[in-house]
Structure formats: C-alpha cells, structure tokens
A = this chain, B = another copy of it.
Amino acid sequence: MDATPKTPRTTVARQRDRGRYDRDTINAIIDESLICHVGFTVRDQPYVIPTTHARVDDRLYIHGSVGSRMLKNMRQGVPVCVTMTLLDGLVLARSAFHHSMNYRSAMLLGVAEEVTGEDEKRLAFDALVNHVVAGRSADVRAADAQELKATSVLRLVIDEASAKVRRGPPIDADEDYALTCWAGVLPLQLLPGAPIDDPRLMLGTPVPTNVSTYRRQRAQSDID
C-alpha cells in the first residue's frame, strides 16, 4: 500500500501500535473530518485555528479571507501543522488511569503555498464545498471573479504525515478486572439533526437528498 515516509517528526513515539502511515488511513481521516486545526507560529507564539479543508489527490486545500491573519502568515511560507481528529468513543476503564478515548487523528506537516492559478483555485473552491456536502457545488452559484479575488486558497502537499488510531475496549491492569464497576466503550458520532430551512427560503423548496440523508462516510473497519 502507498505509504508516507516515516520521519522523526511524524513517527508516533508513544503507544507506537497506534501509529499508521499508509496513505489510505490518512486520507480517510482527512476526508471524514469536517474541520481541521491549523497550527502556525508567529514570533515564537503558536496559534491553532479551526478551519474547513478539502483534499484532492495528495493536496490539501484550505481557504479564507485574503485579510485573515492565518492566511497572511501562512502565505509567507512558514511551516504549518494541520491536524484532524475524529472522536469515536469514550473508553471507560475500571481505573482512572486507564481511561482513554477511541479516536482517529491525522497530522500533516509542511509548508503551504498560495494557489495563484484561477483553474486550480476554482477546483479547490468546488472541492471545499463538496467536501462538506457531496455534490453541493452543482446546486449553488459558483464563485464569481470578485469572490475568487477576495479569497486566499492555500495548498499543502500531503507528504510528511501520520495517523494515530485507538479503537476497542479499555485495557485495565490485571488486578482491576476483579472490580465491580461498569467498564466499556460509549461510542460517539457527529450526527445531523433535521435540516432547518433558511427563513428566506422560497416556499416549497425541497430539501435535497444529499442534505436530508446526510452522513459522513466512515470506514467501519477503523471504528470497531
């Protein structure tokens, strides 16, 4: 399987059995995550900002206003770290110490570059909308020239990356299995409620099926 190279910076040091380096695992986490947390440093102070993203092949796109601090800083070619985390469950052990969470996280390191070509910018825009709701870009008005100009799009080539996955029941200390308290996993999932019509929606506009039947795609084998 296609794998990202393990580097000292991405090699999972603690609980090494949780580290994953194959591209399929990393991509699945990127694609299921609705948001990422972007880290960058300005005068020794790290900042961690949540934002939306989209992946096209081995490229991660993020975007924002031309005036945003995050994008202004990142455009200068500084090293960034982009992390996505999916929370799959609470792992409730018999001892405080062995409590944990089931999760899948991906961490990408690199230097982001600004997308300047209009074709790639449009492709990224579509990908960003379709990442949130599959097929949505075909239903809505595309960005016009002014909107494209007002938006910075950054590209991070997914090269130095790793994932970390925990799944399964708690692992208690041997002697604690005799304790009488309940132990197990409480699964968690980000789930949609009923769609809320925009107050100014034209009467009788139906909710499209990609919204009414919304689910994030998940690889079941990675959750069990």
Interface residues of A in 148-172 (CB under 8 A from B): 151, 169-170, 172
A67 within 8 A of B: yes
With both chains docked as a complex, state the minimum distance between the C-beta of A153 and any C-beta of chain B, in angstroms.
Answer: 12
With both chains docked as a complex, state the minimum distance between the C-beta of A120 and any C-beta of chain B, in angstroms.
Answer: 15
Interface residues of A in 171-196 (CB under 8 A from B): 172, 176-177, 179-196
Q: 1/0 contact trace for A129-140 toward B, CB 8 Å?
A: 100110011011
Out of B34, B143, B199, name the residue touching A95 (CB < 8 Å): B143
* Residue contact A83 to B37, C-beta cutoff 8 Å: yes
| Interface residues in chain A, defined as those with a beta carbon under 8 Å from any beta carbon in chain B | 9, 13-14, 34-35, 37-41, 44-50, 52, 64-65, 67-69, 78-83, 85, 87, 89-90, 92-97, 99, 101, 103, 105, 107, 109, 125-126, 128-129, 132-133, 136-137, 139-144, 147, 151, 169-170, 172, 176-177, 179-202, 205-208, 211, 214
Out of B34, B39, B169, B211, name the residue touching A39 (CB < 8 Å): B39
* Residue contact B198 to A183, C-beta cutoff 8 Å: yes
**Dominant secondary structure of chain A at its interface with chain B:** mixed
A81 partner residues in chain B, CB cutoff 8 A: 39, 45-48
Out of B49, B97, B187, B192, name the residue touching A187 (CB < 8 Å): B192
Out of B126, B185, B191, B195, name the residue touching A195 (CB < 8 Å): B185
A38 partner residues in chain B, CB cutoff 8 A: 48
Out of B143, B151, B182, name the residue touching A205 (CB < 8 Å): B182
Known: A169-B198, A182-B197, A183-B200. 15 other contacts (CB 8 A): A37-B48, A37-B50, A37-B83, A47-B107, A49-B83, A87-B190, A92-B211, A96-B147, A99-B129, A99-B132, A140-B179, A169-B199, A182-B205, A185-B195, A186-B196
* Residue contact B34 to A140, C-beta cutoff 8 Å: no
